[in-house]
Amino acid sequence: MTAPPFALPVLRLKPKADARRIRHGHPWAWADDLVLDRRSRAVPAGALAVLEDAERQPLGLGVATVEAKIGLRLLDRDPGAVIDGAWLTARIGAAQALRDRLYDAPFYRLVHAEGDGLPGLIVDRFGDTLVMQPNAIWLEEREAALAEALLSVTGCTTLIKNGTARARLAEGLPEVTAVLAGTAPEAPIPVPMTGATYMADVMGGQKTGLFYDQRDTHAFAARLARGARVLDVFSHVGGFALACLAAGAEAAVAVDASEPALALAGQGAAASGLGDRLTTRRGDAFAEMEALAAEGARFDLVVCDPPAFAPSKQALEAGLRAYERVARLAAPLVAEGGVLMLCSCSHAADLAKFRAACLRGIGRAGRDPRLIHTGFAGPDHPQHPQLTETGYLKALAFRLMP
């Protein structure tokens, strides 16, 4: 145990709080479980604090946010750990070592928040460029040390800060995008993945510019795609469409509300030598699915990967209705014996609830499904087994019987 350079505040669990939950691996202490007196309430948001159980036995060192629902996020089980540049370098180095074993090319999620022991931090790597989302106060206050650690561990020369996530609002952090090192790319970055080339707009695109989390599900869809007609709804930059075309799909239609995203899908198709087989349709996904049904369009593979319809428990019921509607509108577009893939990135909608909503929608469409695959985010998005938030992504593939 390393002695801290100065005395840190202590937060203590109430006698009735379940300290075993934290001892057994949960990285959060709820504010309702903490003794909140004048002293503990004075601990500033983002400050380091030692967490103790009701018997004053230390449980670890974490970041305090006592006025929020989560009163403390553990950083280290050693209450005497020093959270400095060396500590950040060690955590990032461990994350990099895992990715080095998983991938041959430097295109992946490098840091996945609690999944890599760095609460609030998301970092995606695009070759020599890193894009980080620091969504917590403790990271904001250590920006320089964090940047130095990321660059030294990876050897990258460009680091972009994307501070536009909704999570920053809850921490009282400003919305900001900045280049912390190197030079901002003047054009989208080509990303080789699943046999295709994707175009990542790291300065103006959604989130960090590209979604790596569906890589493994793209690969499964591609296995079904040879000679198939494919519909990719909520396609963003053509994630499923390009993977399927690269695997030999006859043709693919990408549907999205964003013209810039569809333009990047087109650029990716051209860069992959697949431009003549990709068609794009810009518009509301629900309206476009209804229009395609009216046109009598049918596809061998239909994939729907919408945004998070249930980003919180409060939005769960409305979100499940939206997922049901997606399934109801998509199912009639699947040819007999074809496959319907439905995805959710809503952590509040667990797998069972999401699956039930999908089955209701498919049933209302009069189709007879068989579940042939359940997918999750790839291994560069490690799940903390105690946090459903880190295992947010679900993908279900149903064969619709002839």
Q: For CATH 3.30.750.80, list the domain ranges present in the chain.
A: 85-181
Q: Is the dihedral of CA 348, 349, 351, 353 positive or negative?
A: positive
**For 167-200, what is each residue's pLDDT tens digit?**
888 788 888 999 999 999 999 999 999 999 999 9
pLDDT in tens, 324-373: 999 999 999 999 999 999 999 999 999 999 999 999 999 999 999 999 99
Q: Which of 156, 343, 345, 358 is catalytic?
A: 345
pLDDT at 235: 97
- How far apart CA 381 and CA 108 sit, in angstroms, is 9
- Are 146 and 181 in contact by the 8 Å Cβ rule? The answer is no
* Angstrom distance (rounded) from CA 63 to CA 46: 5
Amino acid identity for residue 320 in this structure: L
CATH architecture of 189-400: 3-Layer(aba) Sandwich (3.40)
pLDDT grade for 6, boundaries at 50, 70 and 90 = low
Residue extent(s) of CATH 3.40.50.150 domains in the chain = 189-400
Task: Kindly report the backbone phi and psi dihedral angles of residue 202, in degrees, each rounded to the nearest multiple of 5, phi listed first.
Answer: -80, -10
Do the beta carbons of residue 197 and residue 267 sit within 8 Å? no
**Tokens matching residue 240:** 């499923």
| Mean pLDDT score across all residues of the chain | 95
How many CB atoms within 10 Å of residue 179? 14
- Provide CATH 2.30.130.10 ranges for the chain: 10-76
Taking alpha carbons only, the member of 220, 255, 224 closest to residue 335 is 224
| Domain range 10-76, its CATH number among 2.30.130.10, 2.160.20.10, 3.30.70.2190, 2.60.120.20 | 2.30.130.10
Q: How confident is the model over 61-96, as pLDDT tens digits? A: 999 999 989 999 999 999 999 999 999 999 999 999
Spatial separation of the C-alpha atoms in residues 389 and 402, rounded to whole Å: 37
Contact 211, 191 (CB under 8 A): no
Single-letter amino acid, residue 157: T
Tokens of 376: 């999750």
Q: Compute CA distances 321 → 123, 228, 305, 380, whole Å.
A: 32, 30, 15, 30
Catalytic residue list contains 156: no
| DSSP bridge partners of 228 | none
Distance CA 206, CA 264 (A): 12
pLDDT tens per residue, range 233-246? 999 999 999 999 99
Q: Two tokens at 90?
A: 């060690």
Full-model pTM:
0.94
Say if residues 254 and 232 touch (Cβ distance below 8 Å).
Answer: yes
- Is the separation of the CB atoms in 216 and 193 below 8 Å? no
DSSP state of 99: H
In whole angstroms, give the CA distance from residue 76 to residue 118: 10
Residue range 280-317, pLDDT digits in tens: 999 999 999 999 999 999 999 999 999 999 988 999 99
**CATH topology (fold) of 85-181:** Transcription Regulator spoIIAA (3.30.750)
